[in-house]
């Protein structure tokens, strides 16, 4: 009985103190996507699922603010400005155009870039080892393999005489891939 009384008394004393503590800030994460939402919805859902697996529940301990340019890169600066006005804690920028817009408009907000080819070559970071500034992230696209891809294509299609490369001229990453392919 004394133990129960002690626990009740301790609980009664601790509860007001716990409630008086400042609640930890719920992080607000902004996402800016260069591409059309219907083409990237699976990536967005995978990201949300990954966050759930790590214990993050939207609206409870994390707020997610996705913005989609729908392939209209001229809208990216406006979308980044909107995330800045929302005072997000971090911006995740998917693809090179979104990363460039985030670098230009995020101010001191940290930016995590994903799916960017050669971020140091296009001026997003000083180097991959030491990015500097507020930009960080990863680059899974490897322009260095462009020559190897062409080599494999020629090997599989022995009669191949010409190859066309279709690019989006507004995406600086594509220039990197073209340069690497032409030098192969």
Q: Is the pLDDT of residue 173 over 60?
A: yes
Q: Is the pLDDT of residue 12 over 60?
A: no
Exposed/middle/buried for 120, CB within 10 Å: 0-12, 13-18, 19+?
middle
What is the arithmetic mean of pLDDT over 100-119?
93
Q: Is the pLDDT of residue 35 over 50?
A: yes
What is the tally of structural domains in the chain? 2
Let me know whether 97 and 147 are in one domain.
no
Let me know whether 34 and 52 are in one domain.
yes
**Taking the CB of residue 159, how many other CB atoms lie within 10 A of it?**
5
Is the backbone of residue 123 left (phi > 0), alpha (psi -120 to 50) or beta? Answer: left
Interatomic CA distance for residues 66 and 137, integer angstroms: 18
Could you list the residue range(s) of the whole structural domain that residue 33 is in?
28-137
Let me know whether 101 and 86 are in one domain.
yes
In tens, the pLDDT along 36-64 reads 999 989 989 999 999 999 999 999 999 99
In a domain, 3, yes or no: no
Give, to the nearest 10 degrees, the angle between helix 96-105 and helix 172-182. Answer: 130
Let me know whether 122 and 65 are in one domain.
yes
- Name the average pLDDT for the chain: 82
Confidence of residue 14 (pLDDT cuts 50, 70, 90): very low
Rg from Cα positions in the chain: 23
In tens, the pLDDT along 118-161 reads 888 888 998 877 888 999 987 766 666 677 777 777 888 888 88
Provide the CATH number for the domain around residue 121: 3.40.50.2300
CB 178 within 8 A of CB 165: yes
Let me know whether 72 and 151 are in one domain.
no
Let me know whether 45 and 129 are in one domain.
yes
Query: What is the rounded (10 degree) CA torsion for 157, 162, 167, 172?
Result: 100
CB 8 within 8 A of CB 42: no
């Amino acid at each position: 009985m004394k133990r129960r009384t002690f626990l009740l008394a301790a609980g009664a004393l601790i509860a007001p103190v716990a409630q008086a503590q400042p609640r930890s800030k719920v992080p607000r994460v902004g996402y800016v996507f260069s591409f059309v939402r219907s083409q990237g919805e699976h990536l967005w859902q995978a990201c949300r699922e990954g966050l759930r697996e790590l214990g993050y529940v939207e609206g409870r301990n994390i707020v997610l603010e996705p913005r989609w340019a729908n392939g209209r890169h001229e809208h990216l600066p406006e979308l980044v400005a909107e995330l800045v006005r929302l005072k997000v804690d971090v911006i995740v920028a998917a693809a090179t155009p979104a990363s460039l817009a985030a670098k230009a408009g995020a101010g001191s907000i940290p930016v995590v870039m994903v799916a960017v080819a050669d971020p140091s070559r296009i001026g997003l970071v000083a180097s991959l080892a030491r990015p500097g500034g507020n930009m960080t992230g990863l680059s899974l696209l490897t322009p260095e393999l462009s020559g190897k891809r062409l080599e494999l294509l020629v090997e599989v299609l022995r009669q191949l005489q010409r190859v066309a490369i279709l690019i989006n001229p507004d995406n600086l990453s594509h220039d990197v891939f073209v340069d690497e392919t032409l030098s192969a």
